Amino acid sequence: MQTEIERKFLVKSDGFKKDAHQFYDIKQGFLNRDPQRTVRIRIKNQKGFITVKGLSSKDGLSRLEWEKEIDLKDAQELLDLCEMPIIYKTRHEVTVGKHTFEIDEFKGKHQGLIIAEIELQHQKENFIKPDWLGEEVTGNKAYYNSQL
């Protein structure tokens, strides 16, 4: 299992779209939303994934994460077992300097919410903050996908 170190930000404009080098739709649900261990099912680019995430650190920067690709049909059937609501979003990938931001535009109930995430090698790693990046919400549980 690896430790994920990630910072999260609200996005204040759609300026990121012109620099996106990839985008795709995601459908995801949670089999378990317990903060001690969330279990997520995701379909992305017609591929299925199961992800288990451990409890976040107090500052929300890191947690254990395990992810495996699973059969697409299995992922579709497991989504039917997930707690509601199912989350629909479009993810845009934007490289800024040596880092890639994953920017999620939420659909449905959370239409209008746009969150950027950046994975880091260590907690104090520096990175370029583009002008479309807004308020940091790392550690704010209201913006965890499992809480949306």
Chain segment 25-37, per-residue pLDDT in tens:
999 999 999 988 9
pTM above 0.95, yes or no: no
CATH number where 95 lies: 2.40.320.10
Torsion of CA 113, 120, 125, 112, to 10 degrees: -10
What are the structure tokens assigned to 6, written together?
Answer: 């990630």
Chain segment 126-142, per-residue pLDDT in tens:
999 999 999 999 989 88
Residue 58 has pLDDT above 90, yes or no: no
Q: Sorting pLDDT into bands at 50, 70 and 90, what band is 103?
A: very high
Residue 1 has pLDDT above 80, yes or no: no
DSSP per residue, 95-127: EETTEEEEEEEE-GGGTT-EEEEEE-SSTT---
Question: Do residues 60 and 139 touch, judged by C-beta distance below 8 A?
Answer: yes
Chain segment 67-92, per-residue pLDDT in tens:
999 999 999 999 999 999 999 999 99
Question: Do residues 6 and 112 touch, judged by C-beta distance below 8 A?
Answer: no
Residue 13 has pLDDT above 90, yes or no: yes
Residue range 97-122: average pLDDT?
95
83 by Cβ neighbours in 10 Å (0-12 / 13-18 / 19+) ranks as exposed
Residue 59 confidence (pLDDT): 86
Give the least confident one: 4-8, 10-14, 27-31, 59-63. 59-63
- Other beta carbons within 10 Å of 45: 9
Could you give the number of structural domains in the chain?
1
Range of the domain at 64: 2-147
